[in-house]
Chains A and B, each alone.
Chain A
Amino acid sequence: MMITLLGKAISRSARCLWALEEAGVDYEHNPVDYTKGEAKTSDFMAINPGAKIPALIDGDVAMFESLAINLYVAQNYGKGGLWPDDAAGQAQCLQWTLFSATEAEPPGAARLVQFIFRTDETRSQEVLDDAAERSKAPLATLETVLQSQPYLAGDSFTVADLNVACSVEYLVRTDFDLSPWPQVQDWIERCMARPAFQAMTAIKEKEAA
């Protein structure tokens, strides 16, 4: 049974494409386009009645919530890699994934919305500044941890890094100056240089073309 990821690449589906590429599993990508109403079809809403992308189908598993999908992919297809073998590392993966959802993404997403859906003229500097301010606390937490280890769950790249990096990447894409957090800057560059991240970027570029 083939895994199918539903959702156009230019959306939160990108982070799931990244995870699937990291896990090296075979999957199909169905680029359901919410801008064309494709997330509101009865077929799609049978998977996510909330009509949001991404969603994932794997055998009799059907689920939504991008970061949850990534945990599912890591736990089922990334043992010893994205999903570490030790309990301490696994705990860190869960912690950082929730940290991404509750702490890192809200300010990053607030900035990204201004960049994607507004023009230079209508962009709200107030929103951007407020979100930048709110980003400082989670960045300080990341900086502290990355001072003593190269990756968030220890010595190697795991789903903890992937799930937090996809929120921090929103800051990178909105010209946020990360230089006060040099460890975070170095870490996000390492994450974004990974072949799987590049493969995901290629899918996005192809879709945009």
Chain B
Amino acid sequence: MIKIYGSLVSRATRNLWALEELDLDYEHVSLDWAKQKNRSPEYLKINPAGKVPTLTDGNATLSESLGINLYLAQKYGQGGLWPDDDAGRARCVQWSFWAGAELEPLAYGRIREFLFKKEAGRDQALITDMAERTGPLLNLMTLSLAEHTYLAGETFTLADLNVACVVEYLERSNFDFSNWPKVESWYTNTYGRAANQKIQDQRAPIAAEMMKRLQG
């Protein structure tokens, strides 16, 4: 049985979404980092850095949320999350790295200000700077979405899933998408998929609890 480690308020949600898209049986182990469950000797054996998420599947053990999704798509999503054509597959790999290397540093930098700081303490200059540097990245997505409905072609694939779970950070930190309507409607379609909705419904009460704790 596939096991995914990491709470619903961690990057494990990206993997839970992919697992739901693929309709796989899996066990979710919700290691609470606030309680240091990620530092237990058993967990450090499968993830020496003590980070979440980690996935185990038979002999395979891996960490890195976007890498886990590539693994799941390649192994279980042939013809769906993982397209049949070389060009589509190349785009899935490309957009996954783009999400991790280009977009996430900016999007995460932004949401960190919103999550871990109260309104008065937020670094507005940093938020503005990050928003300005995010624009060209959303332009790039717009160009791709002008060519086809989804990032790798005409159907929803792993490229959309891995990019959407990073765009989520912008959405959750009130980013103004009005200059990028194609990105906004793509995000609404993508993020609102039934498989993700199921995970988001489970996540909502836990996230609300966490926000109450962080924002008091």
| A binding-site residues for B, Cβ under 8 Å | 49-50, 58-65, 67-69, 71-72, 76, 86-88, 90-92, 94-95, 97-99, 101-102, 105-106, 137-138, 140-141, 144-145
- Majority DSSP secondary structure for residues of A touching B: helix
Say how far B180's CB is from chain A's closest CB, in angstroms. 14
Inter-subunit contact B93/A95 (CB<8 Å): no
Q: Any chain A CB within 8 A of the CB of B87? A: yes
Closest to A143 in B: B48
Task: Provide the bound-state CA to CA distance between A59 and B87, in Å.
Answer: 9
> Within 8 Å CB of A60, what residues of B?
86-87
Inter-subunit contact A94/B59 (CB<8 Å): no
Contact among A67, A95, A101, A105 with B63 in the assembled complex (CB-CB below 8 Å): A95
Could you jot down 19 A-B contacts, CB within 8 Å?
A49-B143, A58-B86, A61-B86, A62-B90, A63-B94, A64-B98, A68-B93, A68-B94, A68-B98, A72-B90, A72-B93, A86-B59, A88-B60, A91-B71, A94-B68, A95-B63, A98-B65, A102-B66, A137-B49
> Within 8 Å CB of B61, what residues of A?
88, 91
Q: Any chain A CB within 8 A of the CB of B1? A: no
Which of the listed residues A76, A99, A144 has the most CB atoms from chain B within 10 Å of its own CB?
A99
Task: Provide the bound-state CA to CA distance between A60 and B86, in Å.
Answer: 8
> Within 8 Å CB of B41, what residues of A?
none
Interface flags, B63-82, vs A, CB<8A=1, else 0? 11111101100110000000
Interface flags, B128-167, vs A, CB<8A=1, else 0? 0000000011011001100000000000000000000000
> Within 8 Å CB of B34, what residues of A?
none
Given known A68-B96, A87-B75, contact A99–B87 (CB-CB < 8 A): no
> Within 8 Å CB of A76, what residues of B?
86
Binds A, one of B15-23, B99-107, B201-209: B99-107
Say how far A162's CB is from chain B's closest CB, in angstroms. 15
Say how far A35's CB is from chain B's closest CB, in angstroms. 19
Size class of the contact patch on chain B? 35 or more
Task: Provide the bound-state CA to CA distance between A62 and B136, in Å.
Answer: 20
Task: Provide the bound-state CA to CA distance between A82 and B100, in Å.
Answer: 22
Given known A60-B86, A106-B105, contact A98–B100 (CB-CB < 8 A): yes
Say how far B146's CB is from chain A's closest CB, in angstroms. 10
Given known A65-B97, A67-B97, contact A98–B143 (CB-CB < 8 A): no
Task: Provide the bound-state CA to CA distance between A145 and B90, in Å.
Answer: 29
Closest to A60 in B: B87
> Within 8 Å CB of A86, what residues of B?
59
Contact among B49, B59, B143 with A88 in the assembled complex (CB-CB below 8 Å): B59
Inter-subunit contact A90/B49 (CB<8 Å): no
Closest to B96 in A: A68
Task: Provide the bound-state CA to CA distance between A99 and B140, in Å.
Answer: 24
Inter-subunit contact B67/A94 (CB<8 Å): yes
Closest to A66 in B: B97
> Within 8 Å CB of A50, what residues of B?
102, 136-137, 140
Say how far A184's CB is from chain B's closest CB, in angstroms. 13
Given known A50-B136, A91-B71, contact A65–B98 (CB-CB < 8 A): yes
Inter-subunit contact B140/A49 (CB<8 Å): yes
Given known A59-B86, A137-B49, contact A101–B97 (CB-CB < 8 A): yes
